[in-house]
Structure 1
């Protein structure tokens, strides 16, 4: 057993499970009511499959909208595939769940934001630099604050 519980990793797994369940329902039953999704993902993530011209236009991240027109939504354990319309041209995409940065349903003011490993590493490096500069003993180093997921940041004003 490991020395500590990785709550961040567990939370991300649970949130991705929620997305999997929601998209599976939409795949089976369609979008209910006014629901629609803005999904931002890392286009450089391994497993992302998008057209070359989309990769050139969005070399780091891209936001797609599942609302009025989408087709062939297929959801698997690791990600989902969908065909979207870009300027009257249908394009298939595959997005692994691990590539998702944000998932928002503005119709009900719901959203999820995933912190990236790079952001976590940068925060840890900054904390280590501060601790080193202050020349503190191991026991006196600042403890990492708990991360709280707040949905307020996704709510409309």
Structure 2
């Protein structure tokens, strides 16, 4: 039988948390009830989901999706986020692709790591995932006297309303 358990794929010995199961159930319900998203969500699944505090009473749901399925998720991103925000009322929903950071190669090693697996490249890609319907057009990093850093990101809003 097809259940919400098919909508979440964890690593080998990891069991999904209660919150991850609720997110998987929301995906399953959307696939069964929403005819617009049914064909698009058929082959999609998530890796994990986390609820974080943003500021004060605001919360956000961060859903990690497989890197290989990121393009399929981007096609339905606007509709999917809108429907999931209805399900999780009062919470922002963010879809982020799961990426891997590789450590720098040791001295004398002939292996080079790809640019896409460096810490900087992964963090920049995550930032693009966070502002996804929009496009990043500029970044400014401000260094304070006490050593802290503030990054300001300018984005070009390219939301397509369907």
TM-score normalized by structure 1? 0.26
Choose 1 or 2 for highest CA Rg.
Answer: 1
TM-score normalized by structure 2? 0.25
Larger RCO (CA under 8 A, 6+ residues apart): 1
